Structure 1
């Protein structure tokens, strides 16, 4: 990134004035106002055709425009033919309602959109005076949109940046279209942008400004930072590509990373992130006593090789693929979870795993990947799930209209849906259960494809053949051809698939995606570090699309191993990755950790004894603790369904809930067994701390706890209080 010193507010205003004048003079010099290239984008930049205004499905005040100008012919008819043509007056253009209302000369519920003396108002008057005609045939077509600056770091006081947008047209001309663009901010609380493209920051941070002109898109990434002329880099040396990219960005932002986390913090973090459980006290003692310089890489390699790795990462995939009892049935959730777990344990390439899911057919019990089509029971649901899970793209908006913030259209949406349009299902041995809802089944289903695969576009009624978004037409397809061709396109060198998988892995290890939300890749939501996304995708591809090697690469980086507290004076912005993410343990991991520390495992309905919560195949609806701490019901194909916020219900569960209370009161828990062996108080205390926090108590902690235990009516009662205090500490509840 290059540095850009901000102009003063006065200079920025002058620049905006110059831009406005250049556009006005261009038209005045002889270029006629174009309905397609001037008026349609003008209605977008003024907000007239947005969903909250006349672009609403029902319009506003009896006036309806196509959403964001997607249908100019419809808009022309609405402007010039509806309401007896009273919206435009060719004989007296200044009296046209389309001029009077947005300029506030007559009452307008939407308020004043631009001044009567503005270039926008003049363009409307000139177009009407010229006959208010369409120029679909003669208007040059848009080829590309360019935004300047594409990236900038701004450090001057009163931070502002003036954007300049140009359009390349197919007649060879290049036009300044800044005032005709619509602007959207990734974080409206950080900055505001004027209709003329002047961006003004209200606080420090990074913001992406998405720019839209007709069908063209552009993005400007701006960082507003305090001036730090004395800044000196003090970060650790980079170890590999992850550190090179993260630290290069931090240097450009003038932010120093935190130091590396101490051994006990790294140990606990590594166990929780890879296998979803805590180390046993003996494992902790061994690691802390090891003085070898390579002990951290050796630990990471050993963790990804453990069977618990597959259990924990299968849980993440089961959330996304909605493995839940109501749709899958009791046996269905078990067989699908087992298939996921075994595939990850074998480090099956992620593209192979995805291909088997998308193209899966046959018995959902004998071929569990086919369960994807059991959960996604109509073509639209399947299309949205495939796009979101495997491409990181949210296509839902394009179901009803072209995507407002990306290039995807309704044709893209229904072209992908066409791939699943001929998928059929047959229930097998589906005896109903009185304990289940009438829509629930307990048996198997056979998934198969029959007949031609196609969809009708709901707006145009055009027959659409199978075609993934941004991909080639898969051609007329009968039977299972569409599924097989889609699976091949998705998994054979698909760059967006690699980007998405790399971003998801980064998200699970670092606490935040490089693209955030993690499943929302789009032009108007660029990665915080585009080069790092590409580098991780390269690494994943070079390693055969296998999960474990990329996990090892990220965890061995200094960036992953940083302390969880920002340095004094440094920003606490999670998108910088200048320090480790601190977050609440997932519901299943927290419950397992409580069981592990106390030594009292939980029992789950219809599950083998000693099954951990992370191994549960379904949603565990009968467990109130899991529900309170955000275990998703798996109704959505989205990471966002897993709640991470803290609630009063969680506090009640930890303060006096049955899950923890029964474990602490059990006479044969860890404390009870230690006391039965006549362990000294200091030994009991060390064991408790190593089990829960992966460290020994400080001198102050030891004095306070031993004094409390010594004053208790019975040692077990005192130790029960001590264990309760440790398990309710932030240090235990958080991954840090």
Structure 2
């Protein structure tokens, strides 16, 4: 038997040396890219968890060593024939020389076949873990300005750590980010089929690079439209630069009534009072928009609004935590919002928190993420806007993150421990003490061994260092050079005020999901770095820009704009803001007395007074039909997808016939009762209703119509007319949306 093995090895070596005239084919650089390009190791083929036809490869080649053994050794090596490479199943199956359920993947005359046949004839040179890895890809040209009907070929170059480079265009997987603008074929030929701005992504060996494509709209806009447009800061410069490139005309500025309503809702989550709106509209002095921005950023409601926003990100929910832990967690966030703590400092405190969950509310961040993998995924999502969950099982199919990087990152949390309350949201003290052990590692399941702990795309830590690994993580996470950290929070802030992120979804900063205005996002991030992560400073920059002031009026020259900010985009008020607005208008507040637990049961709670606003709720588990119906964030996972802004038939029916509006309008303790008791004139009733709901005076048509109805109504029917008037306003698109 040993003699036969030696003969076989000798044949393999001879075959290998006999092929030295050819450049040696690399399993890493040559074979695996062919499998990926041909779809052989995709999720729908042999890359599936169970493989196909008894042949299983790692998804997109995330485990090259295992793939090599599977191809060359599994099933007694029958997939490769070193004596007659052309007879190898590895070649006859994908060319359908013999039956293949996956169909034809390449031709016997193609480059794929030639490379794989040469590799087999060379003795199947093995996977080499020491081979110089790819550092990055380059797509050329990186940006093109083209016209409808044009085509252009892109080339992709892989740059390796040893300084070498290769043209890998032939083996890349290409995707068009917006197929309404451009398509791309497997050869890298881009075809322009629509107008706007798109991007082409190239994927090769778990690396991704982009090329941008700009196709101006057909409108002809005089250059002076842009040169004469109002500019207040860098935001306006960069938005106008892009609009000019795309041939989109900016809409005029919004009127003062629209602006003050927009600014109040976006900054503090409240409607301006009729008096506040009237004063602002009447003010003719210069600088009033800047003064309004400063006023709103200093309002106490600002603290309510932004504490609530960060509570969504940090998952404050009674479905996971006991009430006293919720209170401590909420108080910790609120205290930091109230002093405008720099974002990097806030995140460092949160990520490195230890001690009692009651004395240090930040420790509850880890109480809702109780294993290293979940901690890693949520830290990445919350503070970097990067979803790494797919890499838990295999290399990320849409990003550069590998399975090894995932477990190295998660190993940063492997020594986080807690004692005390066991996590049952229905009972117990809720007191949990968080601490860090000086030993312990997370095992990489694929190898059965731990990986040295390492931040994403960063140097590994000493695995034997007993210090809390989260300290190193926090320094890396919040470092100014960590662009994902700064871009993530800049994009979140921008989306809050402009109604649309520069990257959408706003917590999805994949390389393959580029910003609509990359220069602008970079400028916002740089502003944050320069101002030491002062979020109010960035908010003010946005509020005083002319871009933010722009109206939502659709012009013929910008009707195709959906994301470049030629105009403002109306957005439906978030559930909590809408609920509070209805309460403010009607003068009737909701009662919050129960929380809903995961098992469907409820629990009575105290602590919310009769004047508590929805935006002041500490806990997303508080029961409220309106908030649930209108898409409140359930805070189950760290994802913006938890909040829904989509309209539904249930919402329409509830607004029309439900209790939220109708019961509040008919309440004897509400605003309408007080208004009618003062017996105002019809014109005053109409004026006040419009100012309360829409922050503007009624138009002449609106005024005459409702004044006539009020004037002719008999005394017993007058209240019903007033209720109907308010109902029509509260259910109108103008009220439900911020314009």
Same fold (TM > 0.5) = yes
**2:278 aligned counterpart, secondary structure:** helix
1:133 is paired with a residue whose SS is: coil
Q: Which moved more, 1:181-190 or 1:659-668?
A: 181-190
Distance in 1 separating the partners of 2:212 and 2:429: 51
The aligned residue for residue 730 of structure 2 is 727
Q: Does 1:66 align with 2:67?
A: no
Given the alignment of the two structures, is residue 205 of structure 1 paired with residue 196 of structure 2, yes or no? yes
Shift in CA distance, 188/103, structure 1 to aligned 2, threshold 3 Å: farther
**1:369-408 CA distance string (max 9 Å, x none):** 1111111111111111111111222121221222223332
Instruction: Please say if 1:486 is aligned against 2:478.
Output: no
Q: Which residue of 2 aligns with 1:184?
A: 175
Partner residue of 1:222? 213
1:96/1:708 Cα in 2 relative to 1: closer, same or farther (>3 Å)?
Answer: farther
Cα 1:61–1:707 shift into 2, 3 Å: farther
C-alpha spacing 1:717/1:472, structure 2 compared with 1 (3 Å): same
Q: What is the CA–CA distance in structure 2 between the aligned matches of 1:415 and 1:134, rounded to whole Å?
A: 26
Q: Of 452, 460, 473, which aligns to 2:460?
A: 473
After superposition, the CA RMSD in angstroms is 2.6
Post-superposition offset of 1:574: 3.5
Q: Deviations over 1:84-132 (max 9, x none)?
A: 4443334444443333333344443333333343322333333334444
Q: 1:549 and 1:139 mapped to 2: Cα distance?
A: 47
Greater CA deviation, 111-120 or 625-634?
111-120
Q: How does 1:684-703 map to 2 (within 5 A)?
A: 684-703=685-704
Name the structure 2 match of 1:717.
720
1:241 offset after TM fit, Å? 1.2
Counterpart among 350, 358, 368 of residue 375 in structure 1: 368
* Aligned counterpart, 2:9: none
Please point out which of 328, 341, 346 is paired with 1:335. 328
Conservation of the 8 A alpha-carbon contact between 2:20 and 2:122: no
Residues 336-345 or 584-593, more deviating? 336-345
Q: How far 1:332 sits from its partner (Å)?
A: 2.0
Q: Secondary structure at the match of 1:325?
A: coil
Matches within 5 A, 1:149-160: 149-155=141-147, 157-160=148-151
What is the aligned counterpart of 1:346 among 323, 329, 339?
Answer: 339
Q: Partners of 2:24 and 2:438 in 1: how far apart?
A: 53
Give how far 1:150 is off: 1.1
CA distance in 2 between counterparts of 1:616 and 1:217 reads 42
Q: Secondary structure at the match of 2:71?
A: helix
1:57 aligns with 2:44: no
- Compared CA separation, residues 571 and 103, structure 1 to 2 (3 A): farther
Aligned to 2:514: 526
Tell me the matched-pair count. 703
State the Cα distance separating 1:708 from its structure 2 match. Answer: 3.2
Structure 2 CA distance for aligned equivalents of residues 726 and 137 of structure 1: 68
Pairing partner for 1:44 from 32, 36, 50: 36
Q: Could you tell me whether the CA contact under 8 Å between 2:249 and 2:557 is conserved in 1? A: no
1:153 and 1:222 in contact (8 A); partners too:
yes
Which among 551, 559, 563 is matched to residue 563 of structure 1?
A: 551
Unaligned segments of structure 1, at least 5 residues: 1-26
In structure 1, C-alpha distance between the alignment counterparts of 2:381 and 2:651, rounded to whole Å: 30
Counterpart-to-counterpart distance in 1, 2:478 and 2:166: 40
Per the alignment, residue 432 of structure 2 pairs with: 445
1:395-434 equivalence runs, <5 A? 395-427=388-420
What are the Cα deviations for residues 592-624 of structure 1, in whole angstroms up to 9, with x where unaligned? 000111122222212112111000000154210
Q: Following superposition of structure 1 onto structure 2, how do residues 276-287 of structure 1 map, counting pairs within 5 Å?
A: 276-287=269-280
Which residue is equivalent to 2:671?
A: 670
Over 3 Å counting, the alpha-carbon distance change for 1:443 and 1:688 in structure 2 is same
In 2, the alpha carbon distance for the partners of 1:723 and 1:543 equals 45
Cα contact 1:654–1:660 (8 A) shared by 2: yes
After the TM superposition, which residues 573-652 of structure 1 pair with which residues of structure 2 at under 5 Å, given as runs?
A: 573-605=561-593, 606=606, 607-652=608-653
Point out the more displaced range, 212-221 or 545-554: 212-221
SS class of match (2:674): helix
What's 2:4 paired with? none
- In the alignment, what sits opposite 1:653? 654
Per-residue Cα deviation, 1:136-176 (whole angstroms, up to 9, x for no partner): 38976545422112112221x32433221123456765432
Q: Which runs of 5+ in 2 are unaligned?
A: 1-18, 594-605
Residue 130 to residue 483, structure 1, CA distance change in 2 (3 Å) = closer
Query: Secondary structure, in 3 states, of the residue corresponding to 2:632?
Result: coil
CA contact (8 A) 1:621 1:627 kept: no
Which has the higher mean CA deviation after the structures are superposed, 691-700 or 493-502? Answer: 493-502
Instruction: Give the drift of 1:591.
Output: 0.4
Alignment of 1:19-168 (within 5 A): 31=23, 33-134=25-126, 136=128, 142-155=134-147, 157-168=148-159
